[in-house]
């Protein structure tokens, strides 16, 4: 595949900057807490909203078959509901997808 390196480096530089600046600026400039409850709460909820939006519905098209993706999703939901760690949940979902896909290949 032909890659457009100037574009890729520009994109990576921009990504790095907008990741670094929110981390660096408060640590260097501000010593006071945000007083506005709405802004504070909004920033607090953002990670959950982002991760949920990134997961759904993308997870359903993350494997070669939608059925195997659904199996993986169910396994991941159950295990994370019971508080299993990131690695356990990820590998179990992967195993579920693999098993379902092998099974479908047989029939």
Partner 1 sequence: MNQNLSVGPALSFRKGLRDGIPICLGYISVSFAFGMMAVESGLPVWVAVLISMTNVTSSGQVAGTTLMMAGGSLLEIGITTFVINIRYMLMSLSLSQKLDSRMSLFFRLTLSHGNTDEIFAVAMQQRGKIPAPYLGGLILLPYIGWALGTFLGAAMTEILSVSLRSALGIAIYGMFLAIIIPPSRKSRPILITVLLAAFISCAFSYLPVLNRLSGGWVIIICAVLAAGFAAWKFPMKDPEEETVCS
Q: Which is nearer to partner 1, 33 or 107 (CB)?
A: 33
* Nearest CA among 55, 106, 104 for reference residue 76: 55
106 binds partner 1 (CB under 8 A): no
Range 14-73, binding partner 1 (CB under 8 A): 14-20, 22-28, 30-31, 33-34, 37-59, 62-65, 68-69, 72-73
102 binds partner 1 (CB under 8 A): yes
Closest approach of Cβ 36 to partner 1, in Å? 10
CA-CA distance, 30 to 42, in Å (whole number)? 19
3 binds partner 1 (CB under 8 A): yes
Spatial neighbors of 69 by CB under 8 A, at least 6 apart, are: 59, 60, 61, 62, 63, 97
């Amino acid at each position: 595949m032909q890659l457009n390196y100037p574009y890729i480096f520009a994109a990576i530089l921009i990504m790095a900057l907008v990741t670094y600046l929110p981390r660096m600026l408060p640590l260097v400039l501000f010593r006071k807490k945000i007083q506005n409850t709405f802004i504070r709460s909004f920033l607090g909820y953002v990670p959950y909203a982002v991760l949920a939006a990134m997961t759904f519905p993308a997870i359903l098209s993350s494997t070669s078959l939608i059925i195997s993706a659904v199996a993986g999703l169910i396994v991941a939901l159950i295990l994370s509901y019971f508080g299993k760690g990131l690695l356990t949940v990820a590998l179990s979902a992967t195993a579920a997808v693999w098993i379902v896909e092998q099974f479908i290949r047989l029939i």
